[in-house]
């Protein structure tokens, strides 16, 4: 595992971050030589997702259900989750964020890529190998009404993992269940009640207690509060924060509410049509977004404070809807709705470039709102001219494969130079 890690980080070194200017490329090459350290300050990653892909087959109707296409729900997603922290996954419906969560809990078997949990690749693990893994990775579901068995008491729902994994003898299960109910703020005496006797917020607490039963190291929370009333949402968010502080659980927090993700997660990945378009720490995403989609998402959130004080930033109007993931647009998948798309965007997919210490963006024209560069920044990297046609004079960078995590050198857009940690 150790070897694998250092190998990874060597590859993750910044390579060829230059556009058409040759000295930029030289700078980048020099930087690549130094880029050897892991850029996860302090915390080591508990989960590393590497070029994860999930394609669902589309079958033809009729007797012979031939595969006629593929829904590219998740297409080459890479990220890391550090121990006892949270990564937020945001995006609109259909962007693949829930599928990613279900892949990591191995409710689906990925089409390709690696899911390394504590260094061990679980993407191809067999059911027997998965059982011990279930103790480490648990999931909290969105809908507290459909994710609890209505015929089981709360006690048997929360205690089932203990019995299945034979963690405790039968007579010790009940005290543990009551302890868990107390942790999530429910009355421990209510263990013999049924889910329908509880309100939505209380049911979500039952779901959280069930996920905590085996003391997992990673919790995948798929829209844990979106089905709840506003006043109850805050209760559940606070509970999840307490749990993280007390038990040191890492979270993959999947949500579409940008304000809640900002509140809960120090690190955020923005997904669009199965790909990560921008990933970074909280400040990079919320105060320094460089991808037009992230900027549009942020400007679309109705904000009480801004509206009350009258300092509303102009809303970016995105046209149309998210395209079908069966036939995603060529090149950059966001280009059909992008306000700054040009020809190169239809021809080439932008690589996920690191542009800050903890900030990566996948765009040919990355820049702050209204300050996007005129010329594509990625043309040199891809070995094409500014319109995306092959440029015989350019030497494309061969190492553009997206790595999870961050390198310790990056391309500084403001100074057109190499930034260093």
Partner 1 sequence: MGSAAAPLLSVRELEVHFPTSDGLVKAVNGLTFDLEAGKTLGIVGESGSGKSVSSMAIMGLHRGTNAKISGEIVLDGVNLLDISAEEMRKKRGREVSMIFQDPLSAMHPYYTVGNQIAEAYRVHNDVSKKVAKQRAVEMLERVGIPNPDKRVNDYPHQFSGGMRQRAMIAMGLINDPNLLIADEPTTALDVTVQAQILDLLQDLQREFNSAVIIITHDLGVVAEMADDVLVMYAGRAVEHGPCKEILTHPEMPYTWGLLSSVPDLTGDTEARLIPIPGNPPSLLNPPPGCPFHPRCAHRDKVPGDLCRTELPLLVPGQRGETHTKRCHLPNPDAIYATEVLPEIAPDLAAGAAPTRAEEL
Q: For binding to partner 1 (CB under 8 A), which residues are involved? A: 92-93, 199, 201-202, 229-235, 237-238, 241, 256, 258-260, 262-263, 282, 286, 296-310, 312, 315, 317-318, 320-322
Q: Which is nearer to partner 1, 311 or 398 (CB)?
A: 311
Residue 160 CB, nearest approach to partner 1 (Å): 26
Q: Which is nearer to partner 1, 63 or 304 (CB)?
A: 304
Residue 253 CB, nearest approach to partner 1 (Å): 13
Q: Residues 195, 181: contact at Cβ < 8 Å?
A: no
Question: What is the number of other CB atoms lying within 10 angstroms of the CB of residue 328?
Answer: 21
Phi, psi of 393 (to 5 degrees): -75, -20
The DSSP letter of residue 395 is: -
CA gap 277, 69 in Å, rounded: 24
Question: What is the number of other CB atoms lying within 10 angstroms of the CB of residue 8?
Answer: 18
Residue 33 CB, nearest approach to partner 1 (Å): 37
Q: Which is nearer to partner 1, 264 or 406 (CB)?
A: 264
- Would you give the end-to-end CA distance of the chain in angstroms? 25
Q: Residues 79, 276: contact at Cβ < 8 Å?
A: yes
Residue 257 CB, nearest approach to partner 1 (Å): 8
Residue 296 CB, nearest approach to partner 1 (Å): 6
Residue 353 CB, nearest approach to partner 1 (Å): 24
DSSP H helices, 58-169, are 97-104, 127-134, 154-164
Residue 292 CB, nearest approach to partner 1 (Å): 12
Closest by CA to 396, choosing from 15, 75, 13, is 15
Q: Which is nearer to partner 1, 52 or 225 (CB)?
A: 225
CA gap 106, 123 in Å, rounded: 7
Phi, psi of 328 (to 5 degrees): -65, 155
Closest by CA to 249, choosing from 107, 139, 370, 164, is 139
CA distances (Å), origin 216, targets 53, 148, 163, 260, 333: 25, 19, 16, 23, 36
At how many degrees (to 10) do helices 200-212 and 230-247 cross?
20
Q: Which is nearer to partner 1, 183 or 297 (CB)?
A: 297
Q: Which is nearer to partner 1, 195 or 404 (CB)?
A: 195
Rg for the chain, CA atoms, rounded? 23
Residue 303 CB, nearest approach to partner 1 (Å): 6
Q: Which is nearer to partner 1, 54 or 318 (CB)?
A: 318
Q: Which is nearer to partner 1, 1 or 308 (CB)?
A: 308
Q: Residues 209, 159: contact at Cβ < 8 Å?
A: no
């Amino acid at each position: 595992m150790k070897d694998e890690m250092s190998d990874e980080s060597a590859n993750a070194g910044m390579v060829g971050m230059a556009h058409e200017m040759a000295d930029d490329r030289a700078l980048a090459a020099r930087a690549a030589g130094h880029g050897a350290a892991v850029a996860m300050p302090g915390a080591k990653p508990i989960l590393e997702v590497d070029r994860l892909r999930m394609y669902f087959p589309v079958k033809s109707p009729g007797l012979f259900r031939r595969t006629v296409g593929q829904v590219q729900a998740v297409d080459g997603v890479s990220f890391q989750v550090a121990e006892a922290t949270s990564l937020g996954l945001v995006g609109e419906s259909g962007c693949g964020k829930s599928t990613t969560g279900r892949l990591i809990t191995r409710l689906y078997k990925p089409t390709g890529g690696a899911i390394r949990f504590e260094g061990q690749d679980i993407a191809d693990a067999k059911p027997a190998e998965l059982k011990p893994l279930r103790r480490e990775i648990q999931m909290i579901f969105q809908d507290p009404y459909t994710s609890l068995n209505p015929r089981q008491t709360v006690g048997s729902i929360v205690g089932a993992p203990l019995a299945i994994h034979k963690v405790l003898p039968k007579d010790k299960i009940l005290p543990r269940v009551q302890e868990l109910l107390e942790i999530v703020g429910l009355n421990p005496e209510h263990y013999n009640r049924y889910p329908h006797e509880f309100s939505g917020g209380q049911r979500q607490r039952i779901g959280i207690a069930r996920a905590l039963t085996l003391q997992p190291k990673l919790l995948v929370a798929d829209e844990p509060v979106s089905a709840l009333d506003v006043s109850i949402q805050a209760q559940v968010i606070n509970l999840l924060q307490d749990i993280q502080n007390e038990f040191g659980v890492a979270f993959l927090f999947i949500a579409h509410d940008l304000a809640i993700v900002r509140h809960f997660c120090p690190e955020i990945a923005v997904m669009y049509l199965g790909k990560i378009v921008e990933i970074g720490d909280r400040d990079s995403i919320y105060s320094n977004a460089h991808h037009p989609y992230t900027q549009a998402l942020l400007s679309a959130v109705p904000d009480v404070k801004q509206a009350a004080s009258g300092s509303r930033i102009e809303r970016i109007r995105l046209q149309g809807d998210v395209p079908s993931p069966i036939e995603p647009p060529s090149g950059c998948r966001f280009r059909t709705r992008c306000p700054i798309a040009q020809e190169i965007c239809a021809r080439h997919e932008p690589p996920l470039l690191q542009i800050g210490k903890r900030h990566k963006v996948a765009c040919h024209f990355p820049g702050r709102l209204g300050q996007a560069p005129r010329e594509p920044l990625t043309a040199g990297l891809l070995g094409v001219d500014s319109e995306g046609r092959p440029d015989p004079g350019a030497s494309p960078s061969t190492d553009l494969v997206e790595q999870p995590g961050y390198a310790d050198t990056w391309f500084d857009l403001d100074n057109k130079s190499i930034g260093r940690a």
